[in-house]
Amino acid sequence: MTVNRESKEKYEGLLKEAVKASKNAYAPYSDFKVGAALLSKNGKVFTGCNVENVSFGLSNCAERTAVFKAISEGVREFEAIAIYADIEEYISPCGACRQVLMEFNPGMIIICGCRDGSYKTKRLIELLPGAFMRKELQK
């Protein structure tokens, strides 16, 4: 995906917020700290981190934490989300997070970052083709 200069600056700023958010992660079991920064269409940024629990199924990912924070503040339109973990590979949202994000904007830009500060971008629909959508519930 080609990124213009204005978008590049916006995405890099969002990624910096995700890096900061990763420092707040509660990951005593995996030590895998993830941060996310969700950009709303009105320009507000909502951050999130992963929160683990001894009962692993009760854990929550950074991306969903950011989305839930935004929703709880009445924001429902999103442009992009940056995801970061201090690893050598690009981190990508899990399937559950992809589906939650899909609820709000299939064309959302996903910024996947890694330890060296580099990132790659994709549209959400590229990561979850054939997603379960609202129209499937219509009879």
Active site residues: 63
Measured between alpha carbons, how far is 6 from 22 in angstroms, rounded to an integer? 25
Measured between alpha carbons, how far is 74 from 5 in angstroms, rounded to an integer? 30
Instruction: With H, G, I as helix, E, B as strand and everything else as coil, classify residue 124.
Output: helix
Buried b (16+ CB within 10 A) or exposed e, 101-123: bbebbeebbbbbbbeeeebebee
Residue 23 vs residues 52, 80, 94, 98, 101: alpha-carbon distances, Å: 14, 21, 20, 22, 23
Residue 120: which H helix or E strand, with range? Answer: strand 119-123
